[in-house]
Structures are given as structure tokens and as C-alpha cells.
Amino acid sequence: MKCNNKNILMILQSEFPPDIRVEKEMKALTSERLNVFLLSNKKKDLPDQEEFSYGIVIRLKDVPFLGTAFNRKKNFPVPLNPFWLVSFVRVVFQKKIEVIHVHDLPFALLGIIGKVFFHKKFVLDLHENYPAALALWGKKGNIVSQIFRNPELAEIYEKWSLRFADAVIVVAPEHKAYLQKKYDILPPIEVVGNTVEWGTYDRFPLDENIVQKYEKQFVLSFLGQFSPERDLDVAVKAVRFLKQEISNLKLIFVGDGVYRAQLQKWIEIEGVNDHVEIIGWVPFEETSSYLAVSDICIIPQGSNDLIDSGTPHKLFQYMAMGKPVLVSDARAMKNVVEETRCGEVFRSRSAQDFAQAVLKIRNNADFPYGENGVRAVQIKYNWQNSANVLRSLYKKIFS
């Protein structure tokens, strides 16, 4: 590769680690002997700079005499925050950065500043349809938060960010098509999916205690964050129908989040405590054990502009483990499942349709849902392929 020893600065509004997508992108680029630096937030007692095998993480520095509470507030992730801006400019010059790679829309302005004032290349990596996410989450908090959570302003910001970007990365073809239809002038858009590393995730050692605990039950599992837009109540309500047909049914939620208390409340309201279990967060390596004992893996989040534009990591994790998947009719997920025939699709926010789809999978035990998913991951939906798209993009940038 001709672009050895080029310096890339990634910008991430959250703290790192963890972020599985960012980590995999850093590894993909450093494997090509590119130098990757990551400017990230700092919320915990972590060092200001930390070196990993795949790059150097530079965190916003604390101001020692101002106390912990102020230091957390000063790192509020908005692009005109002077603490972010100063840190950004310092790293660009100190590390002789040539490409600004911004993860998600909020900090796109730093990429624009890097391009206009410092003549750097600007790559905008959109992990999600951010204006649609803001519309879904609603305007909350004080006046400053409401301004930065305004979906109409976010659309204007997105439009101008795309005009300045040298390249754009999205996670699904549906998001690419959405942007191409919505905006007239666009830079090249590449799809780098939220895929899994074939031969890695599916080979974590299994926890025998977990395997034995669920070996006699028919397990539905959800892996991920508990938040309002995930429609987890649909799965809980479906258990009320399913427990009549499947006496050994167990629905398990592996994860955590702001809606945990609400999720527990739904379980109690529906009277399905004996059939639903909240596991909580577990180490990443342990998630494969819960998927291994699952008969069906679920993503109940319903169709909207946000979820229609992307495919979550968990879909490909489920497929890599050879498990039938059940997803809503959200466009991006529906397209993958119908293309690969690795599971079934239910009507968004319909607990009854969800239950019918579960029974269809259960009653068609001989259909190779799991094998189809594994084959699709082996051939197409794996990180090796996604990483090659990213590497090819950077070859063009540095050519």
C-alpha cells in the first residue's frame, strides 16, 4: 500500500473504550500501517492518553483545580465547546494529522473546520440517521439541550456537513439510498456494515453454567440496550400469548439501560414473571453463551426512519451463532432477513404477530434458518468484507 505512515484523527463524542465499531475500524486501518489517533470524551478516571495495539486514544484533559463535577460538564459534546475545539486543534498540529474521521453527526463541524482552515481531508462516518434519532427521542432538557436536540436544525447541519465531506460512511445500503434521495450534492458514500468478525465471535468458549441453566427451556433472547425505542414491551406482551403454547418458554434480556425499571414493570403487568428474566450487562465474551442456548434471537424494534436506515450489530451476531432471528418489518433488517432466509419478520409493534412468527419458526424446526444465517455471514455479512471497503476508501483518499 502506498499510503504508509499517514496520520488519521478519529473523533468520538463518547468515552472510549468501549465502542465495538470504532475499535474494529481502528484495527482495520492500523493493519494497513496507517497511524490512527482517537480524540474521545472522558467521564471516568482514565488516563489522558492511552496506547492500544490499534492506535492511540487521546481523551479530553481535566482541569485539576476545578473539580470532578465541572470537568464532566465541560466535556459536553457540542462542536463549539472550546475544550473540544482546543483539544482538536492541538492534536491536529501535534500529530501532523492528514485526515479527520468524525464518528457521527454532532462533531461534523470539527471536520469542516479541519478541511476549510487546515486543508485536511474530512470523512464523515454516520453510525445512524441522527436527525431521525432526535425526532424519535424528542426535545428534552434545558434550552441548550433542546437546541442541540432539534431534528430540523440537525437536518440543516447534516446537509452542510455532507457538502463539505470528502467521503461519507454509512452502516447500511438503505441509509445510503435515503441520503442520495434527500440531498442533491453528495460526496462518495461507502457502506461499512455493523458486521461481525467471522471466526472470532462464534468461537468464544461457552459458559457451561449458562448452558445447563437453560438446556431444558425454549429460549427467546434479546441482546443490547434497554431504551424506549427498542419496543421491548412487544416481546413481553407476546409471552402472554406464547406461554399457552410453549410451557417451557423463557424470554431473556441480556443488557441494561434507562428502561430497565420500566421493563420490569411490563413483566409484572403482563403477569409473566416466571417466563421472563432480565440478566443485566455481561462481558462481551459471555454474550455468545446466552446466544448459544437460544432457540430464537429477537430484535423487536419497530419500523421508523431511524431503524429503517440501519442494521444493528446484534443481527449479525445472532446470524453468526447459527440462530433463527425474529425482526420487525423495519426496512434494513427486513431486507437482510428476507434475502438470507435466516428468520422471520413480524408486523411492527404487534405482539400477536410477534407470537405467530415465533410459533412459525418453532413449528418449522427442519427449516435451515440458522444454517442460512451462518452461510450469509461467511460469504457476505462479515467484518472482513466491511473492513476491505474501509481500506479501499482510504487508499482512494491517500492516492
Max Cα–Cα distance, the chain, nearest Å: 66
Q: What is the pLDDT of residue 71?
A: 66
**d(Cα 61, Cα 46) in Å, to the nearest integer?**
10
Among 97, 211, 114, smallest CA distance to 165 is for 114
- Confirm if 125 and 169 have CB atoms less than 8 A apart: yes
Render pLDDT for 267-293 as a digit per residue (tens, 0 to 9): 999 999 999 999 999 998 899 999 999
Q: What is the pLDDT of residue 379?
A: 97
Low-confidence ranges of the chain (pLDDT < 50): 1-3
**d(Cα 112, Cα 199) in Å, to the nearest integer?**
38
Q: Is 171 helix (H, G, I), strand (E, B) or coil?
A: coil
Domains in the chain: ranges and CATH: 7-195+382-398 (3.40.50.2000), 201-379 (3.40.50.2000)
**d(Cα 109, Cα 302) in Å, to the nearest integer?**
31
- Confirm if 374 and 382 have CB atoms less than 8 A apart: no
Which strands, in side-by-side order, build the sheet including 35-41?
49-52, 55-59, 35-41, 7-15, 99-103, 121-125, 167-170, 189-191
User: Which residues touch 37 (CB under 8 Å, ≥6 apart)?
Assistant: 7, 8, 9, 10, 55, 56, 57, 58, 91, 95, 97
Q: What is the pLDDT of residue 2?
A: 42
In terms of pTM, does the model score above 0.85?
A: yes
**d(Cα 131, Cα 152) in Å, to the nearest integer?**
7
Q: What is the pLDDT of residue 75?
A: 79
Phi, psi of 295 (to 5 degrees): -90, -30
- Confirm if 306 and 313 have CB atoms less than 8 A apart: no
Instruction: Give me the DSSP letters along 256-267.
Output: E-TTHHHHHHHH
Q: Tell me the CA end-to-end span of the chain in Å, nearest whole number.
A: 10
